[in-house]
Amino acid sequence: MKREAAFAGQFYPASMESLEGQIRAFTEAEVAREEVAGAVVPHAGYIYSGKVAGAVYARITLPRLFVIIGPNHTGKGYPFSLMSDGIWKTPSGEVAIDAELAEKILANSKNLKADDKAHMYEHSIEVQLPFLQYYTKKFCFVPIILAHGDFATYYEIGCAIASAVKGGEKVLIIASSDLSHYEPREVARRKDSRVIDAILSLDGERLLKTVKDLEVSMCGYGPVVTMLSAAKALGATEAELIQYATSDETSGDSSTVVGYTGIIVK
């Protein structure tokens, strides 16, 4: 099946020319690139989080294969859903799901299920694709959408991903997540700093505890815990904060902001 671009013209421009121009403006800095195991990248409208996303992608030597993990904002579909085949469309073209890798991940996990419904109107994975298309035209990916769960579930899925990719072609695992939602700027920054510290320590259990104890309205904590679990199983030993921003830098309203971070894991 073909999944149409559900959020073109909303989260990002609907025309290829405008879209690529916007991404170019976000990623024009010349910086050294490196191979990484995983990354945390935000998924808001590009005018708010695009600079953070661009800063992350500008730092990475991009492979041909990706696993992109996003949270379930819609409530649709199976709670832990992998879309196992098909084509995703964006204004920049079409991207195929790697069915072979998808089947390997499914075979390794007792929690994941092949299900398309959770993916059809979920923006968190879709908004990552134009950035990847800007830098590398020929690539495939596996999309995974995760609802609320516990550490054991996320850890199991992360290990299933790691087992599927270990020893094979290089795969980058992307966790799509925003941080605090609709908090005063100083409150958001204080909570987000604790979340970022947990991610930089590669500690998924600490991240979940921080989100719960501080009541952080982080939408993609599950994808981040899963990515960290997979990256550590693949040998990752450190993480680096690339950029942090809040939505008031665009909106001018510091009374209610959303936080965005870009982190690479290597």
Three-state SS letters, 133-199? HHHCCCCEEEEEEECCCCHHHHHHHHHHHHHHHCCCCCEEEEEECCCCEEECHHHHHHHHHHHHHHH
With the CA atoms of 37, 93, 146 and 215 taken in that order, what torsion angle do they form, in degrees rounded to the nearest 10?
80
Please report the pLDDT score of residue 141 as a whole number. 98
What angle (nearest 5°) sits at the alpha carbon of residue 165, between those of residues 67 and 107?
A: 85
Query: Is residue 50 scored above 90 in pLDDT?
Result: yes
Angle subtended by helix axes 204-213 and 151-165, to nearest 10: 150
Query: Is residue 223 scored above 90 in pLDDT?
Result: yes
Query: Is residue 29 scored above 80 in pLDDT?
Result: no
Mean pLDDT for all residues in the chain: 97
Cα gap 159→209, rounded to integer Å? 20
What is the SS3 assignment for 66? strand
- Section 229-250 average pLDDT: 98
- Section 149-176 average pLDDT: 97
Cα gap 251→121, rounded to integer Å? 25
Q: How many CB atoms lie within 10 A of CB 60?
A: 20
Domain ranges of the chain: 2-265
pTM comes to: 0.98
Cα gap 96→111, rounded to integer Å? 24
Angle subtended by helix axes 221-233 and 204-213, to nearest 10: 160
Q: Strand (E) positions, the chain?
A: 2-3, 38-41, 65-71, 80-82, 87-90, 93-97, 113-114, 140-146, 171-176, 181-183, 239-246, 257-265
Looking up tokens 């999944």, which residue turns up? Answer: 3
Query: Is residue 30 scored above 80 in pLDDT?
Result: no
CB 104 within 8 A of CB 152: no
**Which CATH architecture describes the domain 2-265?**
3-Layer(aba) Sandwich (3.40)
Distance, first Cα to last Cα, the chain: 34
Please report the pLDDT score of residue 261 as a whole number. 98
Q: How many CB atoms lie within 10 A of CB 181?
A: 16
Query: Is residue 152 scored above 80 in pLDDT?
Result: yes
What angle (nearest 5°) sits at the alpha carbon of residue 130, between those of residues 174 and 230?
A: 10
